[in-house]
């Protein structure tokens, strides 16, 4: 079976999307679905390309049980071909992703992270970059909620067996 390719996208690829990637990977691993998935993250901006996730996000994530080791890269139009599902953190990410293609098959792949949330009634994952530590915990709370139901929905949709 071909892998389900999931790409998480935020602005800088140093806070929200690498955390989403790390949390989703841990859930996949816990359910023994590693062979079924290819997971990555990217930013619509290029300021932090090559960098590890923001030190505050790495620290808070570690206290929550997630080690974030990805390196930032910029989202490109090729990602529409290389991934099955492209998950945006906020409305601006969503718009910037969609600007890079006018192919309806590509645009069908783009979804909002908060659309998977069951516990949080939010329309965007807030950008924690300019705030305090609590904002990073809040982002992780939202991402744990969203990735749990995203994984459940993909397990059902693709009839995966761990």
Nearest to 129 by CA among 23, 79, 57: 57
Q: Which is nearer to ligand 4NP, 36 or 53 (CB)?
A: 53
List the catalytic residue out of 10, 15, 79, 117.
Answer: 10
When binding is defined by CB under 6 A, the residue of 4, 6, 11, 20 that contacts ligand 4NP is 11
| Smallest gap from residue 13 Cβ to ligand 4NP (A) | 6
When binding is defined by CB under 6 A, the residue of 21, 79, 127, 145 that contacts ligand 4NP is 127
Give the binding range for ligand 4NP (CB under 6 A) out of 13-21, 103-111, 112-120, 144-152: 13-21
List the catalytic residue out of 40, 54, 90, 127.
Answer: 127
**In the structure encoding, which two tokens stand for residue 87, read together?**
């998950």
Strand-by-strand arrangement of the 85-88 sheet: 37-43, 4-10, 85-88, 110-112
Contacts of 82 (CB under 8 A, 6+ apart): 5, 7
Is 10 considered catalytic here? Answer: yes
Is residue 22 involved in binding ligand 4NP (CB under 6 A)? no
Cα Rg of the chain, angstroms: 15
Alpha-helix residue ranges (DSSP H) falling in the chain: 16-30, 55-63, 79-82, 91-98, 104-107, 133-157
Report the residue closest to ligand 4NP, judged by CB. 12
Residues that bind ligand 4NP (CB under 6 A): 10-16, 43, 47, 127, 129
Active site residues: 10, 16, 127
């Amino acid at each position: 079976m071909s892998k389900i390719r999931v790409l998480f996208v935020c602005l800088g690829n140093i806070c929200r999307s690498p955390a989403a990637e790390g949390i989703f990977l841990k859930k996949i691993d816990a359910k023994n679905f590693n062979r079924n998935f290819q997971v990555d993250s990217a930013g619509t901006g290029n300021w932090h390309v090559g960098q590890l996730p923001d030190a505050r996000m790495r620290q808070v994530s570690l206290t929550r049980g997630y080690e974030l080791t990805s390196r930032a890269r910029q989202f490109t139009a090729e990602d529409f071909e290389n991934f099955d599902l492209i998950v945006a953190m906020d409305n601006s990410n969503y718009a910037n992703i969609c600007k890079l293609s006018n192919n309806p098959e590509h645009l069908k792949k783009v979804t909002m992270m908060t659309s998977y949330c069951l516990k949080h009634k939010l329309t965007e994952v807030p950008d924690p970059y300019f705030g305090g530590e609590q904002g990073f915990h809040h982002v992780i709370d939202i991402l744990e909620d969203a990735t749990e139901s995203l994984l459940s929905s993909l397990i059902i949709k693709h009839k995966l067996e761990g």
